[in-house]
Homo-oligomer: A and B are copies of this chain.
Amino acid sequence: MEKQVISTPVIRRLPRYYRFLGELEREGLVRISSKELAQRMGFSASQIRQDFNYFGGFGQQGYGYHVGELRQIIGDILGVHKQTGVILIGTGNLGKTIASHMDFEKRGCKLIALFDENPLIQGTSTAGLTIMPMESLENFCQLHHPQAAVLCIPKHAAQQLAEKLIRLGISGFWNFSHFDLKINNPDVIVENVHLGDSLMTLAYYMHQKEEE
Q: List the interface of chain A (C-beta within 8 A of B).
A: 11-12, 14-16, 18-20, 77-80, 82, 84, 93-94, 96-98, 100-104, 107-109, 147-148, 171-174, 180, 187, 189, 191, 193-207, 209-210
On chain B, the residues within 8 Å of A203 by CB distance are: 78-80, 82, 84, 107-109
Q: Which 9 A-B pairs have the closest CB atoms?
A: A108-B203, A15-B197, A79-B207, A15-B200, A191-B202, A93-B97, A84-B206, A189-B205, A94-B97
Q: List 9 A-B contacts (CB under 8 A).
A: A12-B197, A93-B100, A93-B101, A108-B203, A147-B206, A189-B209, A191-B199, A191-B201, A191-B202
* Most chain B CB neighbours (cut-off 10 Å) among A11, A100, A198, A199: A199
Given A97-B94, A209-B189, does the pair A102, B204 have CB atoms closer than 8 Å? no
On chain B, the residues within 8 Å of A102 by CB distance are: 195-196, 199
Q: Contact check: which of B19, B93, B108, B147 meets A93 at CB < 8 Å?
A: B93
Distance from A45 Cβ to chain B, minimum over Cβ atoms (Å): 18
Distance from A144 Cβ to chain B, minimum over Cβ atoms (Å): 16
Complex alpha-carbon distance, A113 and B77, angstroms: 42
- 18 further interface pairs, Cβ-Cβ under 8 Å (given A11-B205, A102-B195): A15-B197, A19-B197, A20-B180, A77-B204, A93-B97, A102-B199, A103-B196, A107-B196, A108-B200, A108-B204, A108-B206, A109-B199, A171-B206, A172-B206, A174-B202, A191-B198, A191-B201, A193-B195
